[in-house]
Amino acid sequence: MKRKYLALLLAASMAAGTFAGCGAKEETAKSTETETETEAETDTESASTEHGPSSEAAPAWDDYNERIAAIRTETDLAKREALMHEAEDELMSTWAVVPLYYYNDVYLQKTDVTGIYGNQFGFKYFGFAQAPGNTLALQIASEPDKLDPALNSTVDGACLAILAFSGLYAYNEEGELVPELAENYEMSEDGMTYTFTMKDGLKWSDGTPLTAKDVEYSWQRLANPDTGADYSYLADIIARKDDDTLDVAASEDGKTFTVKLKAPCAYFLDLCAFPAFYPVPQASVEGAEGYADNPGAWCTEAGFVTSGPFTCTEWKHNESMTYEPNPNYYAADKVSLTKIQFMLSSDDTAIYNAFKSGTLQFTDTVATDIMETVKDTPEFHKMSTLGTYYSGFNVNSDLFKGKTVEQAANMRKAFTLLIDRQYIVDTIGQAGQEVANTFIPTGMADGNGGEFRQNDDAYTYPVEDAKGYFDPTDMEANVEEARKLLESAGYQFDESGMLSPDTPISMVYLTNDSEGNVKIGEAIQQDFAVLGINLTVESREWSVFLNERKEGKFDFCREGWLADYNDPINMLEMWETSSGNNDMQFGR
């Protein structure tokens, strides 16, 4: 599958796209992404005040959907890897996904606090921390969007889910998968059937038994379209009894849980440790007021039933949350903290002042302005993660109205080339992030014994030396190419090389309101102004931003994705038409 250029693929995509795509459906986060590393209020005049489908300009997406389905069932690992490269090629040929840099996870932690750990997917575990006075005050984000593990799609929400709930498996301090609610498991010889044996005596925080039947209910609930879970597609590797029912079953006594897969899956146990697959209490879920309209209504206030080391005892919305130990947690004897207090804020100045004064002992927010001050102190921590900070275009935005599929893609490629990523990393990120020119990040495995982002005998990236889809280092050449691409899309330039007033380009960049994300938007604004493109940066409170982005109410927006497990399919399947994380609106 040797390919150095996308020309043939792009030409085929453009031709197919002329006939319109199919139509169907966070964080951040996971969008999977996290607000803390990152996340009609104004009447700004822009190119798109409405966001109706613009099918003549949007790429066709049936082939992509079919390729993702094939990856899930392909058992030949070399063919599977080839299919994943094809999928990333097709995704990047749209130029709707604009990678900026690969994540580092940075945070501040007082030196007398121990036992907090994280993993390469951005999850942090606070349940077994030790701190003076057995209390811990910390900040990871502002008001969380959803606390129901099946409905959450942000990293801050995942951290809260890990604190309050448990899965069949979990990650330990070394990043290894270890049994949690499960005692052990057995796998069939063909790798397609798993049978988990549950620990004895498991209970919910209200004292009622927690059994394999709760796991069965919760996994079926995740996959049920009525639940509206962004991550429902993660269950697509599981075989089906019929169109609506997963092939999973709890034994009559609730002691064992059996799962049948469509094909062997190397990352299946990672899914068992992922919050979307955590069991939830059926009686609480379905007994909550408003359940018929809001499947997550049961955990929108403090006091909801949990299964993890802590339970939420107080929630002052947009201000603070208090968690206290769950006495019915199966490993309650390992918990030493008596209280965890979360500050809910995106005010970088207030957060850092609280950390300096000792009011906070941990903060996941490190503002740009104080990075130079703190990065050489013993309180500063940096972890490697598997994820990409990027921006994205709504392919149905009126920004592309009246353009062909090829012209719209050329516009987006031009915008991509104008962004000075090294400036963003050096002056805003300031944590040694690697500039990105592919969506799937450095270090991700290929599922076939190697690293995905490597040129080899079977595959060569379009820009061979840069091992990506464009060279982010030659900004002078990139600006000139961007001008030519925009000319091919019908835009005119004056003698000074600036956009003609006869063919203006205006758009809005949507971001959440944390300082770093706004500054990145402003940096892109300056980059676009080099050719006379008018970019307006608009920020929203975290939960409002997440929902506007999910609904496609944007031209261009801030994005980020931390992988849920170490396999490229996780960063490719999110762009299926039906995915709840398909913010770019492919195929809709």
User: Is there a single domain that holds both residue 93 and residue 139?
Assistant: no
Instruction: Please give the Cα distance from 404 to 160 (Å, whole number).
Output: 44
pLDDT of 335 above 90: yes
Q: Which residue has the tokens 């890990």?
A: 162
Rounded average pLDDT over 53-65: 85
Q: In Å, how far are 90, 406, 491, 583 from 18, measured between CA atoms? A: 16, 9, 21, 22
Within 76-201, where are the H helices? 77-93, 155-164
Q: Closest by alpha carbon to 386, among 566, 582, 574, 154?
A: 566
User: Is there a single domain that holds both residue 133 and residue 282?
Assistant: yes
Enter the DSSP assignment of 276.
G
pLDDT at position 9: 37
What's the domain count of the chain?
2
pLDDT of 54 above 50: no
Rounded average pLDDT over 346-367: 94
User: Is there a single domain that holds both residue 182 and residue 75?
Assistant: no
Band (53; pLDDT cuts 50, 70, 90): very low
Q: Closest by alpha carbon to 363, among 119, 124, 30?
A: 124
Element (H, E) at 72: helix 62-73
Q: Answer for the pair 178, 169: CB distance below 8 angstroms, yes or no.
A: yes
pLDDT at position 18: 32
pLDDT at position 47: 38
List pLDDT tens digits, range 69-112: 999 999 999 999 999 999 999 999 999 999 999 999 999 999 99
Instruction: Please give the Cα distance from 222 to 227 (Å, whole number).
Output: 7
User: Is there a single domain that holds both residue 161 and residue 83?
Assistant: no
Question: What's the domain range around 248?
Answer: 111-287
Is residue 428 in a domain?
Answer: yes
| Sheet strands (E) in 172-247 | 177-179, 182-187, 193-198, 240-242, 245-246
Choose the final residue of a domain: 287, 307, 338: 287
Instruction: Please give the Cα distance from 572 to 64 (Å, whole number).
Output: 9
Rounded average pLDDT over 174-199: 97
Task: Provide the Cα torsion 443, 433, 471, 577; round to 10°.
Answer: 60
List pLDDT tens digits, range 385-415: 999 999 999 999 999 999 999 999 999 999 9
List pLDDT tens digits, range 276-318: 999 999 999 999 999 999 999 999 999 999 999 999 999 999 9
User: Is there a single domain that holds both residue 204 and residue 270?
Assistant: yes
Q: Closest by alpha carbon to 35, among 518, 573, 440?
A: 518
Give the list of residues 6+ apart from residue 422 with CB closer than 8 angstroms, or none.
435, 472, 473
Choose the final residue of a domain: 287, 312, 338: 287
The more confidently predicted of residues 37 and 525 is: 525
User: Is there a single domain that holds both residue 92 and residue 138?
Assistant: no
User: Is there a single domain that holds both residue 446 and residue 565?
Assistant: yes
Q: Answer for the pair 124, 116: CB distance below 8 angstroms, yes or no.
A: yes
User: Is there a single domain that holds both residue 73 and residue 178?
Assistant: no
Rounded average pLDDT over 487-506: 97
The more confidently predicted of residues 500 and 4 is: 500
By mean pLDDT, which of 25-39, 471-485, 552-566 is the weakest?
Answer: 25-39
User: Is there a single domain that holds both residue 404 and residue 423?
Assistant: yes
pLDDT at position 3: 37
CATH of the domain at 559: 3.10.105
Give the list of residues 6+ apart from residue 496 with CB closer than 8 angstroms, or none.
none
pLDDT cut 70: percent of the chain above it: 91
pLDDT at position 46: 35
Instruction: Please give the Cα distance from 159 to 164 (Å, whole number).
Output: 9
228: left (phi over 0), alpha (psi -120 to 50) or beta: left
User: Is there a single domain that holds both residue 137 and residue 118?
Assistant: yes
pLDDT at position 545: 94
Is residue 307 in a domain?
Answer: no
Is residue 320 in a domain?
Answer: no
Instruction: Please give the Cα distance from 336 to 485 (Å, whole number).
Output: 60
Q: How many residues does the chain have?
A: 588
Is residue 294 in a domain?
Answer: no
User: Is there a single domain that holds both residue 128 and residue 272?
Assistant: yes
Give the list of residues 6+ apart from residue 244 with CB closer than 8 angstroms, or none.
223, 224, 225
pLDDT at position 539: 96
- 195 three-class SS: strand
Band (51; pLDDT cuts 50, 70, 90): very low
Q: Closest by alpha carbon to 380, among 396, 390, 367, 398?
A: 367
Instruction: Please give the Cα distance from 144 to 269 (Å, whole number).
Output: 27
Choose the final residue of a domain: 253, 287, 321: 287
User: Is there a single domain that holds both residue 223 and residue 84?
Assistant: no
pLDDT at position 283: 97
Is residue 298 in a domain?
Answer: no
Instruction: Please give the Cα distance from 200 to 420 (Å, whole number).
Output: 56
Indicate if the alpha-carbon torsion angle 394, 396, 402, 408 is positive or negative: positive
CATH of the domain at 220: 3.90.76.10
pLDDT at position 243: 78
Give the list of residues 6+ apart from residue 491 with CB closer than 8 angstroms, or none.
499, 500, 503, 505
Rounded average pLDDT over 62-66: 97
Is residue 403 in a domain?
Answer: yes
Indicate if the alpha-carbon torsion angle 35, 40, 43, 47 is positive or negative: positive
What pTM, to 2 d.p., does this model score? 0.85
Rounded to the nearest integer, the mean pLDDT of the chain is 90
Which string of b and e fits 147-156 if b means at least 16 CB within 10 Å?
bbbbbbbbbb
pLDDT of 548 above 80: yes
- 152, two tokens: 């959450």
pLDDT of 29 above 80: no
Is residue 524 in a domain?
Answer: no
Band (55; pLDDT cuts 50, 70, 90): low
Give the list of residues 6+ apart from residue 110 with CB closer than 8 angstroms, or none.
131, 358, 361, 362, 379
Is residue 375 in a domain?
Answer: no
